[in-house]
């Protein structure tokens, strides 16, 4: 194959790029329009994608589909394609293959069909900030199951960071040599469907942002919103249309941007609503400026950036802020420039960024979602192959070096056990000084002193002996008094004194 295809996909739109013989990328304008809305129409043998399908969807035709990444959550739903039932997840596959077939006829002038080229054609998917990582993996698995082998799935933010850094658009002034990856953090600010998207990357090699934040209805310039609201109110009042304000304001924003900086005081603007109503509205710019002065204190978009800055824990000098051309609020951009040192407004063509698919294959390999599992497996193998011991055993199997190592391991185990055993009986030596001041009864009760039982046993016997002597001493005094009748007092006193010294004298007086 002598051509490559790159598809830039958001939740609402798709853009088709092609490169012939690895040359610069060009836009394929389907139905004379570079932007292809992700609307589908499929009924029997009829199928369409883009503006034709969008028009039928807005006019409530049956078998029209929109918001593909929301539809795939219903796995049981299906659609009819050439009289065959297909799962709703195949809508994107069928739509892209339809575009490729049209490209082959118009640009390549070939009669080949995409069904015969699935295993040969190179397709690069570039996803916007409003698509999640699990949805990217879903698209990759879908195309792989249908035989596509040469696929790349990359975030546009990842490509943009590497493009700006490699070509010294950012970070070149950080040092004399223009060090690559000079910043420690990158905030990328983008706008989709009036919502503000902020993604933080802490390094250039990250496939996915470290964290992201979405601000609803914060991506548009307040002045554009005021003009769109005024055009809607006048057009609905004159035509009596029943269209919804929320849906119409989004569609009128591009028209409002054209007249945002006009020098005319009261331009006459042609307004067309989605139900076909057309009205000419005279816009008074003086009234627009008056309303804008009341909203001059609007800082929600800037406050959202400050929150992301604090969450990133990156200093101002080490933080690079990249604002894409989808952000049109001049007041918001001026606040960023006045507060941050490194603010870059991205105005380059999209084709320049995706040229990395041809010029920097190593960048694509690193950012490709399909190479994620392979890179993880390689990282797991590095510590195993790098260890020297298993390599030596594998190279010398005949010498059997394993045998001397086995007894060594056996010897080490008893050494560790012997060291642990003596360490346990070391605590008993401190209690012996306590025995000197503590009574023997308390020492005998303690269970932690089994090695020295004879010492506390000796005082126990000494205590028992006086108790034994006291018992016979009480029996011996009564027999001697009867034979000696005349000297009772003389004989009894010395005997009682000698025998009954430990017990007190009142015991003898009680005997009298």
What are the helix (H) ranges across 282-371?
A: 285-294, 300-312, 330-339, 350-354, 356-359, 361-367
Domain boundary among 308, 332, 347: 347
In angstroms, rounded to a whole number, what is the distance separating the alpha carbons of residues 497 and 500? 5
One domain, residues 121 and 211 = no
Query: Which CATH number fits the domain that encloses residue 310?
Result: 3.30.420
Domain boundary among 347, 380, 397: 347
Residue 404's contacts (CB-CB under 8 Å, 6 or more residues apart) are none
Tokens of 59: 């006019």
- Cα dihedral sign for 175, 180, 183, 187? positive
Query: What's the domain count of the chain?
Result: 2
In angstroms, rounded to a whole number, what is the distance separating the alpha carbons of residues 135 and 127? 10
One domain, residues 256 and 308 = yes
Strand ranges of the sheet holding 211-215, from the earlier edge strand across to the other edge: 211-215, 195-201, 185-192, 319-324, 343-346
Q: Would you say 444 and 456 are in contact if contact means Cβ atoms under 8 Å apart?
A: yes
Q: Would you say 20 and 359 are in contact if contact means Cβ atoms under 8 Å apart?
A: no
Indicate whether 469 belongs to any domain: no
One domain, residues 90 and 130 = yes
Q: Which domain holds residue 50?
A: 3-163
On the CB side of 350, CA atoms within 13 Å amount to 20
One domain, residues 205 and 342 = yes
Domain boundary among 314, 347, 380: 347
Indicate whether 145 belongs to any domain: yes
- In the chain, the N- to C-terminal Cα span, in Å, equals 138
One domain, residues 329 and 195 = yes
| Closest-CA residue to 316 (of 328, 325, 305) | 305
* Full DSSP string of 253-291: HHHHHHTTT---SS-EEEEE-TTS-EEEEE--HHHHHHH
One domain, residues 151 and 89 = yes
Tokens of 126: 């570039």
One domain, residues 49 and 83 = yes
pLDDT of residue 494: 47
Indicate whether 302 belongs to any domain: yes
Q: Would you say 262 and 285 are in contact if contact means Cβ atoms under 8 Å apart?
A: yes
CB neighbours of residue 354 within 10 Å: 23
Q: Considering just the CA atoms, what is the radius of gyration of the chain in Å?
A: 46
Burial 107-118 (b: 16+ CB within 10 A, else e): eeeeeeebeeeb
One domain, residues 33 and 116 = yes
- Cα dihedral sign for 348, 98, 148, 141? positive
Q: Would you say 364 and 357 are in contact if contact means Cβ atoms under 8 Å apart?
A: yes
Query: Which CATH number fits the domain that encloses residue 126?
Result: 3.30.420.40
Please give the angle made by the CA atoms of 44, 46 and 48, to the nearest 5 degrees.
Answer: 135
Q: Would you say 61 and 52 are in contact if contact means Cβ atoms under 8 Å apart?
A: no
| Residue 152 main-chain phi, psi, to 5 deg | -135, 130
In angstroms, rounded to a whole number, what is the distance separating the alpha carbons of residues 359 and 258? 37
Q: Which helix (DSSP H) or strand (DSSP E) does residue 157 occupy?
A: helix 156-166
One domain, residues 120 and 58 = yes
Classify residue 314 as left (phi > 0), alpha (psi -120 to 50) or beta. beta
| Closest-CA residue to 60 (of 185, 238, 243) | 243
| Closest-CA residue to 90 (of 133, 131, 141, 22) | 141
Mean pLDDT by 10 residues, the chain (512 residues): 91 95 94 94 93 91 94 91 92 96 92 88 95 95 94 96 85 54 89 91 93 89 89 92 88 89 91 90 91 74 94 94 90 92 92 94 94 51 40 40 44 44 50 49 48 52 45 51 49 46 50 42
Q: Would you say 491 and 480 are in contact if contact means Cβ atoms under 8 Å apart?
A: yes
pLDDT of residue 338: 94
One domain, residues 75 and 222 = no
Q: Which helix (DSSP H) or strand (DSSP E) does residue 16 occupy?
A: strand 13-20
Instruction: Give the orientation angle of helix 330-339 with respect to helix 300-312, to 10 degrees.
Output: 40
Q: Which helix (DSSP H) or strand (DSSP E) does residue 136 occupy?
A: helix 133-145
One domain, residues 18 and 144 = yes
pLDDT of residue 329: 83
In angstroms, rounded to a whole number, what is the distance separating the alpha carbons of residues 62 and 83? 15
One domain, residues 98 and 186 = no
Indicate whether 122 belongs to any domain: yes
Per-residue model confidence as pLDDT tens digits over 484-502: 444 444 444 444 444 445 5
Indicate whether 481 belongs to any domain: no
In angstroms, rounded to a whole number, what is the distance separating the alpha carbons of residues 51 and 34? 11
Total-model pTM? 0.67
In angstroms, rounded to a whole number, what is the distance separating the alpha carbons of residues 390 and 71? 53
The CA–CA distances, whole Å, from 183 to 179, 203, 343, 345, 510 equal 9, 8, 12, 17, 107
Q: Which residue has the tokens 């190593």?
A: 362
């Amino acid at each position: 194959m002598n051509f490559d295809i790159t598809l830039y996909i958001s939740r609402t739109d798709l853009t088709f790029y092609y490169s012939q013989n690895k040359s610069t990328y060009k836009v394929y304008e389907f139905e004379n329009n570079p932007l292809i809305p992700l609307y589908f129409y499929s009924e029997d043998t009829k199928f369409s994608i883009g503006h034709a399908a969008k028009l039928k969807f807005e006019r409530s035709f049956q078998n029209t589909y929109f918001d593909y990444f929301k539809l795939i959550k219903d796995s049981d739903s299906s659609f009819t394609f050439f009289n065959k039932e297909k799962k709703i997840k195949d809508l994107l596959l069928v739509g892209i293959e339809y575009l490729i077939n049209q490209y082959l006829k118009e640009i390549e002038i070939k009669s080949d069909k995409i069904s015969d080229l699935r295993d040969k054609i190179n397709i690069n998917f570039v996803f916007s900030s409003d698509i999640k990582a699990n949805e990217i993996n879903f698209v990759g698995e879908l195309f792989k199951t249908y035989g596509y082998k040469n696929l790349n799935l990359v975030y546009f933010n990842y490509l943009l960071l590497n493009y700006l850094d490699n070509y010294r658009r950012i970070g070149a002034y950080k040092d004399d040599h223009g060090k690559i990856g000079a910043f420690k953090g990158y905030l990328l600010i983008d706008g989709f469907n009036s919502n503000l998207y902020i993604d933080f990357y802490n390094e250039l090699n990250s496939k996915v942002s470290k964290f992201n934040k979405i601000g609803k209805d914060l991506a548009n310039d307040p002045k554009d919103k005021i003009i769109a609201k005024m055009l809607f109110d006048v057009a609905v009042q004159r035509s009596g249309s029943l269209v919804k304000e929320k849906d119409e304001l989004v569609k009128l924003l591009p028209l409002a941007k054209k007249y945002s900086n006009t020098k005319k005081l009261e331009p006459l603007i042609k307004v067309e609503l989605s139900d076909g109503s057309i009205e000419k509205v005279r816009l008074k710019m003086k009234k627009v400026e008056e309303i804008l002065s009341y909203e001059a204190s609007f800082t929600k978009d800037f406050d959202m950036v400050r929150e992301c800055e604090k969450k990133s824990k990156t200093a101002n000098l080490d933080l690079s802020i990249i604002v894409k051309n989808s952000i049109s609020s001049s007041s918001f951009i001026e606040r960023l420039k006045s507060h941050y040192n490194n603010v870059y407004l991205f105005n380059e063509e999209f084709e320049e960024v995706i040229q990395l698919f041809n010029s920097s294959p190593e960048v694509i390999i690193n950012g490709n979602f399909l190479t994620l599992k392979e890179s993880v497996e390689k990282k797991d193998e590095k510590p195993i192959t790098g260890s020297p011991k298993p390599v030596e055993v594998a190279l010398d199997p005949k010498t059997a070096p394993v045998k001397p190592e086995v007894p060594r391991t056996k010897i080490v185990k008893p050494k560790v056990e012997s060291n642990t055993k003596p360490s346990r009986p070391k605590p008993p030596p401190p209690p012996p000084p306590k025995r000197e001041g503590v009574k023997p009864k308390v020492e005998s009760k303690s269970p932690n002193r089994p090695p020295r039982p004879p010492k506390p046993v000796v005082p126990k016997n000494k205590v028992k002996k006086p108790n034994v002597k006291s018992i016979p001493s009480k029996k011996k005094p009564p027999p001697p008094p009867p034979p000696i009748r005349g000297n009772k007092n003389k004989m009894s006193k010395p005997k009682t004194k000698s025998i009954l010294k430990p017990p007190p004298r009142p015991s003898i007086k009680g005997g009298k």
